Amino acid sequence: MGGQWVGRTCRGENVGVGVDGLAAEVRDAALSAGLAAVGTCRAASWTRTRALLDEGRHGGRHGGMAFTYRNPPRSTEPHRILSNAATLVVGAWPYAARPPDPPSGPGAVAARVARYATEDHYAHLRAALDQVAALLRERGHRGVVMADDNSVVDREAAWRAGLGFCGKNANILLPGRGSWFILGSVVTDAVLPPFQPPVADQCGSCRRCIDGCPTGAIVGPGVIDARRCLAWLLQRPGTFPPEFRSALGDRIYGCDDCQEVCPAARREESRSQLGPPGHWLDAIELLSLDDADLLERCERWYIAGRDPNVVRRNLLLVTGNAGDPLDPEVLAIVEEFASHDDPLLAEHARWARGQLEQRRRNSEDGAA
Ligand code: B12
Ligand code: SF4
Ligand code: SF4
């Protein structure tokens, strides 16, 4: 092991980068563990990211999210996680699954799950980073894995480590491969050199993601207003804003539109070995489950307070948007929830009923 390895220029060309010794071992361990890209950055304070988090909080753009906004100093000062922290080893795990085929058949109201949540991709990411941490420990260093835990702002780490550039859709895009990657790091006291320089912007004049967002949530290049972002609105508790209910369409968890339209993401789909299709869920079936069964079906999802009624609220909206307005099973379940004890569910069910009625009338007018 050791010596030259392949890195990338900011235009995505491959170049040899001199990394040897422990750094080369770390890079090899990360790539053999299945990470699509790996890099390092110093465990320094990230003042620009801290300012972005503070700005998002004060301006309301965070829409009440906790995550990294809960404790901005903690999430932007990786050296707090480990005494004598020197380096972050940052990795990207690929999840470009084939877009799922919707189920068909009577009664099925297909509710779409975003690609990153089709299986436990974070478990794969964590396992790969664990191998890197184990190697560091074998070599007498310490290493703490950070994956899906809000310890740091992962995109900032990935950008600093030269994994990719920050797209206008706010995602980190690997050069030529797009953004179907989740990100994580190992913080270590080992001093490792940078594997590659940061990657310059490659979006150029493209703005497909900004124009393709169904709710206008991309309010500037790389800036998301969570109050309009469907991915967040599906997770947060309370009333789903009426002005975005139709735009929600058939989504039940996450939203991929700003990546589906991205030319770079499309290239990755065509070159990747396609995994199994993602999954769709039957909204009517889920609406019939009790609390425990429903939560079990959404085990890995982030749901505010693990409240099953947040999921039911979303399922009712999907049913209103995507259900067959002539299907008796669809109408019966919406009717049942319209008189539910929980006023939140009753109100969303009445909205769904209104949508179904409207579509029935439209189709009758069209047939006349
Ligand atoms: C909160 C959160 C969300 C929120 C808010 C997202 C947001 N953009 O603010 C919600 C719930 C909406 C969300 C949605 C999604 N998320 Co999310 N989310 C997070 C989380 C937990 C924290 C993000 C954060 O701190 N945001 C605060 C801002 C300041 O940081 P940022 O969003 O990372 O933005 C960076 C760049 O956009 C850029 N930037 C931002 N503003 C500006 C302004 C200027 C002027 C400039 C130059 C740059 C710039 O710099 C920032 C820091 O480097 C991270 C995990 C983590 N621990 O970091 C995952 C994470 C960002 N999410 C991820 C994913 C996969 C998604 C979804 C695709 C899931 C889905 N299909 O629904 C969507 C994508 C929505 C989108 N277009 O961003 C991945 C992103 C992977 C990647 N390749 O980039 C992460 C890193 C999780 C992970 N560990 O892999 N997410
Ligand atoms: S995740 Fe969906 S709603 Fe959020 S910014 Fe992207 S396209 Fe818009
Ligand atoms: S759609 Fe275009 S502007 Fe948006 S991230 Fe992809 S390349 Fe950049």
CATH number at residue 153: 3.40.109
Apex 263 CA angle, 112 and 200, nearest 5: 120
Q: Is the CB of 257 under 6 A from ligand 2?
A: yes
The verdict on 136 and 242 lying in the same domain is no
pLDDT at 202: 94
Q: Is residue 365 part of a domain?
A: no
Pairing relationship of beta strands 110-113 and 251-253 according to DSSP bridges:
parallel
Q: Ligand 3 pocket test: which of 169, 171, 256 has the largest number of ligand atoms within 8 Å of its C-beta? A: 169
Q: Is residue 33 part of a domain?
A: yes
**Ligand whose nearest atom lies closest to the CA of 261:** 3
Write down the catalytic residue from 148, 250, 324, 327. Answer: 148
Span of 2-6, 13-17, 70-74, 168-172 with lowest mean pLDDT:
2-6
Q: Is the CB of 230 under 6 A from ligand 1?
A: no
Quote the ligand 3 centre to 318 CA distance (angstroms): 28
Q: What is the spatial distance between Cα 359 and Cα 340, in angstroms, rounded to a whole number? A: 23
Q: Give the pLDDT confidence of 135-177 residue by residue, as tens digits.
A: 999 999 999 999 988 889 999 999 999 999 999 999 999 998 8
Domain termination residue (choose one: 160, 188, 216)? 188
- CA-closest candidate to residue 318, choices 103, 100, 105, 112: 112
**pLDDT over threshold 90, residue 323:** yes
The verdict on 138 and 273 lying in the same domain is no
Beta-carbon neighbour count of residue 71 at 10 Å? Answer: 14
Q: Is residue 102 part of a domain?
A: no
Q: Is residue 194 part of a domain?
A: no
Q: Is residue 198 part of a domain?
A: no
Structural contact between residues 326 and 359, judged by C-beta atoms closer than 8 angstroms: no
Q: Give the pLDDT confidence of 41-99 residue by residue, as tens digits.
A: 999 999 999 988 888 888 777 777 778 878 888 889 898 899 999 999 999 999 876 66
Domain termination residue (choose one: 155, 188, 221)? 188
The verdict on 325 and 254 lying in the same domain is yes
**pLDDT over threshold 80, residue 296:** yes
**pLDDT over threshold 90, residue 130:** yes
Q: Is the CB of 302 under 6 A from ligand 1?
A: no
pLDDT at 13: 37
The verdict on 225 and 127 lying in the same domain is no
Closest CA to ligand 3's atom 7: 203
pLDDT at 5: 36
pLDDT at 54: 84
The verdict on 172 and 248 lying in the same domain is no
pLDDT at 14: 35
When divided into structural domains, the chain yields a total of 2
The verdict on 165 and 230 lying in the same domain is no
Q: Is residue 109 part of a domain?
A: no
pLDDT at 52: 87
Q: What is the spatial distance between Cα 242 and Cα 221, in angstroms, rounded to a whole number? A: 26
**Ligand whose nearest atom lies closest to the CA of 264:** 3
Q: Is residue 105 part of a domain?
A: no
Where residue 37 falls among pLDDT bands split at 50, 70, 90?
very high
Where residue 270 falls among pLDDT bands split at 50, 70, 90?
low
Domain termination residue (choose one: 156, 188, 220)? 188
Specify the pTM.
0.92
Q: Is the CB of 154 under 6 A from ligand 2?
A: no
Q: What is the 3-state secondary structure (H, E, C) of the chain?
A: CCCEEEEECCCCCEEEEECCCHHHHHHHHHHHCCCCEEEEEECCCCHHHHHHHHHHHHHCCCCCCCHHHCCHHHHHCHHHCCCCCCEEEEEEEECCCCCCCCCCCCCCCEEEECHHHCCCHHHHHHHHHHHHHHHHHHCCCCEEEECCCCCCCHHHHHHHCCCCEECCCCCEEECCCECCEEEEEEEECCCCCCCCCCCCCCCCCCCHHHHHCCCCCEEECCEECCCCCHHHHCCCCCCCCHHHHHHHCCEEECCCHHHHCCHHHHHHHHHCCCCCCCCEEEHHHHHCCCHHHHHHHCCCCCCHHHCHHHHHHHHHHHHHHHCCCCCHHHHHHHHHHHCCCCHHHHHHHHHHHHHHHHHHHHHHHHHC
- CA-closest candidate to residue 126, choices 152, 110, 105, 148: 148
Q: Is the CB of 217 under 6 A from ligand 2?
A: yes
The verdict on 246 and 325 lying in the same domain is yes
Residue 230 Cα: closest atom of ligand 2: 3
Taking residues 13-32, report their average pLDDT: 77
Apex 175 CA angle, 166 and 2, nearest 5: 115
Q: Is residue 174 part of a domain?
A: yes
Structural contact between residues 103 and 277, judged by C-beta atoms closer than 8 angstroms: no
Quote the ligand 3 centre to 76 CA distance (angstroms): 26
The verdict on 233 and 308 lying in the same domain is yes
Quote the ligand 3 centre to 202 CA distance (angstroms): 8
Tell me the average pLDDT of the chain. 89
pLDDT at 127: 98
Q: Ligand 1 pocket test: which of 90, 148, 171 has the largest number of ligand atoms within 8 Å of its C-beta? A: 171
Catalytic residue check, 148: yes
Q: Is the CB of 170 under 6 A from ligand 3?
A: no
Closest CA to ligand 2's atom 4: 229
pLDDT at 272: 55
pLDDT at 182: 97
Taking residues 285-307, report their average pLDDT: 93
Q: Is the CB of 256 under 6 A from ligand 1?
A: yes
Taking residues 226-233, report their average pLDDT: 96
pLDDT at 108: 74
Taking residues 191-204, report their average pLDDT: 95
Structural domain span for residue 279: 208-360
pLDDT at 10: 36
Q: Ligand 3 pocket test: which of 166, 177, 208, 269 has the largest number of ligand atoms within 8 Å of its C-beta? A: 208
Considering only residues 360 and 269, tell me which one the structure prediction assigns the higher pLDDT. 360
The verdict on 235 and 170 lying in the same domain is no
The verdict on 168 and 214 lying in the same domain is no
The verdict on 119 and 36 lying in the same domain is yes
The verdict on 87 and 144 lying in the same domain is yes
Q: Is the CB of 94 under 6 A from ligand 1?
A: no
Considering only residues 368 and 14, tell me which one the structure prediction assigns the higher pLDDT. 368
Taking residues 238-251, report their average pLDDT: 97
